[in-house]
Chains A and B, each alone.
Chain A
Amino acid sequence: MSGGHVHGGPECIALFAKLSEYLDGELELGACADVEGHLAECERCQEFLESLRRAVAHVASLSAPELPENLKRDILSAYARARGSS
């Protein structure tokens, strides 16, 4: 922490509401500068942002299983039956 800033005040709460938009690069330039100005003086908010970034990165890194071949066959068979009976 620098400059005598005490974490938990209105500036921290205001920043808290904008962190996702900041991570996504969706903030206007002025708001972005405000966030970065606050982060420069609040170590706890820096840590919080980093933990949020890590959480999002964990989500983005998850892989999903491929479509099982037998499921694909079942769907095509079901469609063929439905088509044949219509």
Chain B
Amino acid sequence: MEKVTTLDANLSVVEKDPDSGELLSRIREDAPGAFDEFVTRFGGRIYAFGMKFCGEREDAKDVLQDTLLQAYRSLRTLEHAEAMTSWLYRVAANACLMKRRKGKFEPEREISLEELLPGPGKDAPMQIPDPAALPHDDAVRAETKARVQKAIGDLPPAYRIVLVMRDMEQFSTQEVADALSLEISAVKMRLHRARLMLRKTLEESYAADRRADGRP
């Protein structure tokens, strides 16, 4: 069975930004155009990150504005330019979590694995379709996207932020741990639970559709 190794690839995506030093110097000097360049380089990524976590444009817009302005002020004291991208995501992750804290229930305990164990063995058909085998049908793909986004949105925020950073933004486990000030074991635990909860939600969602269609 083929294993997926992502750690090295992730590090190269996130950390190697050869122009960070030059941009950081210009930010420190408050040079003309430095903020424009900063927004051009990171604005889209942070907005997308906010959308993935919050699922709503207005929330993503707030996350972006809070993140960029706070980051721009604070970046002047950042010592290591190579850490700029990871540092920025740390600010963005905090902005995301603060955004949802007002309206969403924060779990008081970690969800146990036993709660996510599948039921006793039975011959049920595979419910979740393989994304690689989806038909090239815009309606089907839009429906699938909405279903997955809703399942992500239903996750507890503390789990969702880890899932977004690991599986959507492709950060390494270590980078997520650094950004969220968590132990690596806690990142792995939350990621696993997030994935299991998401799988369960999707499976139940597809199973409900099958029953509604009169299929087993």
Listed in ascending order, the chain A residues whose CB lies under 8 Å from chain B are 6-8, 13, 16-17, 19-26, 32, 36, 39, 44, 47-48, 50-52, 54-62, 64-67, 71-72, 75-76, 78-79, 82
Per the bound structure, the CA–CA distance linking A26 and B52 in Å amounts to 25
Q: Tell me whether A58 and B126 are in contact in the complex, defined as CB-CB below 8 angstroms, given that A39-B1, A48-B118, A78-B65 are known contacts.
A: no
Q: Which B159-198 residues sit within 8 Å CB-CB of chain A?
A: 163, 167-168, 170, 173, 188, 191-192, 195-196, 198
> Are B1 and A72 within 8 A (Cβ)?
no
Q: Whole-angstrom distance from the CB of B70 to the nearest CB of chain A?
A: 12
> Are B47 and A26 within 8 A (Cβ)?
no
Asked if B75 lies at the interface with its beta carbon under 8 angstroms from chain A, I say: no
Per the bound structure, the CA–CA distance linking A62 and B52 in Å amounts to 9
Q: A21 contacts which of B120, B188, B202 (Cβ < 8 Å)?
A: B188
Residues of A close to B191: CB separation below 8 A: 20
Give the contact stretch, choosing among B14-22, B76-84, B89-97, B144-152: B144-152
> Are A58 and B202 within 8 A (Cβ)?
yes
Residues of A close to B117: CB separation below 8 A: 13, 16
Residues of A close to B35: CB separation below 8 A: 76, 79
> Are B121 and A7 within 8 A (Cβ)?
yes
Q: Tell me whether A67 and B121 are in contact in the complex, defined as CB-CB below 8 angstroms, given that A58-B128, A79-B35 are known contacts.
A: no
> Are B4 and A52 within 8 A (Cβ)?
no
Residues of B close to A47: CB separation below 8 A: 126
